[in-house]
Amino acid sequence: MANKILLEVVTPDRLLLSKEVDVVVATSVEGEFGVLAGHAPLLATLAIGEMRYRDGNALDYAAVAGGFCEVTGEKVTILAESAELAREIDVDRAKRARERAEQRLAKSQSEQLDYVRAEAALKRAMIRMRVAERAHG
Residues of this chain that bind another protein (CB under 8 A): 10-15, 28-30, 33, 40-45, 68, 70, 72, 77, 79, 81-82
Residue closer to another protein, measured from CB, 32 or 133 = 32
Spatial distance between the Cα atoms of 104 and 110, rounded to a whole number of angstroms: 11
Spatial distance between the Cα atoms of 137 and 125, rounded to a whole number of angstroms: 18
Residue closer to another protein, measured from CB, 6 or 79 = 79
Spatial distance between the Cα atoms of 101 and 22, rounded to a whole number of angstroms: 36
The minimum distance between CB 34 and another protein, in angstroms, equals 13
The minimum distance between CB 122 and another protein, in angstroms, equals 18
Residue closer to another protein, measured from CB, 15 or 58 = 15
The minimum distance between CB 33 and another protein, in angstroms, equals 7
The minimum distance between CB 24 and another protein, in angstroms, equals 14
Residue closer to another protein, measured from CB, 29 or 91 = 29
